[in-house]
Amino acid sequence: MAELQKAVGVNVELVEELVKKHFGSEYTSKVAYNFHNGRYIPSPLPRRIAAPQKLFGFPIGWKVLGEFSDNIGFRLELWDSTCLRQAETLTEEYNKKTDATKLELQTFFMHWPAAGGKRVA
């Protein structure tokens, strides 16, 4: 992604600033999933929007809301429908503040059977 980062012209610091502004100070965009270790690790580039989850003050993992992708343009793939408004305002503000590649918002809401909703036949 680093080579593509330079090619598409993403403003990394602006993305991080806007994530903290719109989602909260505990959220970051600079985490990536490490397949070898099976967990999230710090990243110098915006990869996922996430906040640390804690139990009795100890970190136990990450709450991940979405993923940044730049394989076809630059887009934010949002996975959590409760954060749609924050993601929309982040996208609008990023596009206003930068002259480079525009950020697109795509929603991929995951529906889990364990959510307790009624099943439709």
Tens of pLDDT, residues 12-40: 889 999 999 999 999 999 999 999 988 89
pLDDT of residue 8: 61
Paired residues of 103 in beta bridges: 74
Instruction: Report which of 81, 60, 67, 70 is spatially closest to residue 31, judged by C-alpha positions.
Output: 67
User: What are the C-alpha distances in Å from 24 to residues 18, 31, 114?
Assistant: 9, 16, 28
What value does the mean pLDDT take over residues 31-57? 90
Instruction: Report which of 97, 70, 91, 99 is spatially closest to residue 19, judged by C-alpha positions.
Output: 91
The pTM for the full model equals: 0.79
Map out the domains of the chain as residue ranges: 2-108
The span from the CA of 69 to the CA of 45, in Å, is: 11
